[in-house]
Amino acid sequence: MSRTAELTVPARRAPRAARPRRPKENPVSRTAAMLIMGVFTLYFLVPVWWLLVASTKSRGDLFSTNPLWFADLAFGENLTALLSYDDGVYLRWILNSLGYAGGGALVATLLAGMCGYALAKYRFPGRELIFNVVLGGVLVPATALALPLFLLFSQVQLTNTFWAVFLPSVVSPFGVYLARVFAEASVPDELLEASRIDGSGEIRTFFTVSIRLMVPALITVFLFQFVGIWNNFFLPLIMLRSDELFPVTYGLYAWNSTINQFPELRTFVLIGALLSIVPLIITFLLLQRYWRSGLGAGALKS
């Protein structure tokens, strides 16, 4: 074939790449999944709805009306009576819980972040042994440590004090584990070397550089620790005797155990339980944007 003929022959187009086929959605599987999610959603939300409805009812309407719908709204009266009962001891319990959970979670997050960072970025003898011990601490339930802690604190005369609940709350083995895993993935060694070359010390590097990259992990540790301390019941039960030191969970339990002698406490327990979850909701709503933005940034970097 001549060269002129070769030029006139149209070039063949490359075959188009086959588009990946989307898997067909099975309507039966989708319906089953939606049904299961709906059942579990109702399972979690119906008790909260009942608590909200019951908190708005008077003591007489509590058992004589529909348990899942409102009657005569008496929320304001119930709230006023709760806050004024026994010289406002419920507010004292809320403040105690904020001190135990807020302060304990903050200190626990800082200690866990520093320990996890050290285990991830420094090489020293016994590092893996220490980390294995931390993993072992994750597996030990908190209730198993309550009695040994009581014996230790009784030896130093710290039972029935604020420190008896606060000090055990600042230890978070899971937080150390999470901080180490996240520090290894999100804090590059090159950035630390550059900071050291600039003359920055290790502590300054951690608080000015590394801690900013570990924000998603630290927020996660804080949320887990805050919720865990707020809902902690067994440790205050063993450690505390004075009702002025009770957290709100143990205080409501103490009221609930005397309902037969004081029937008016039933309404106080219901509305007190409803108010006790408000700080948890507020904390999550305030911190979720830092949590989500940090996770998104980590996903883009990866």
Query: Which pLDDT belongs to residue 293?
Result: 52
Query: Which pLDDT belongs to residue 96?
Result: 96
The pTM score is: 0.82
Say how far apart CA 271 and CA 59 lie, in whole Å: 12
Q: Which fold has domain 82-301?
A: MetI-like fold (1.10.3720)
Helix axes 265-276, 278-301, angle to 10 degrees: 20
Query: Which pLDDT belongs to residue 235?
Result: 92
Query: Which pLDDT belongs to residue 271?
Result: 93
Say how far apart CA 133 and CA 140 lie, in whole Å: 11
Say how far apart CA 147 and CA 154 lie, in whole Å: 11
Break the chain into its structural domains and give their ranges.
Answer: 82-301
- Assess whether pLDDT exceeds 90 at residue 4: no
The DSSP output letter for 144 is H
The pLDDT tens digits of the residues spanning 177-202 come to 999 999 998 889 998 899 888 888 88
- Assess whether pLDDT exceeds 60 at residue 294: no
The pLDDT tens digits of the residues spanning 228-265 come to 999 999 999 999 999 899 999 999 999 999 988 888 89
User: pLDDT grade, residue 300 (50/70/90)?
Assistant: very low
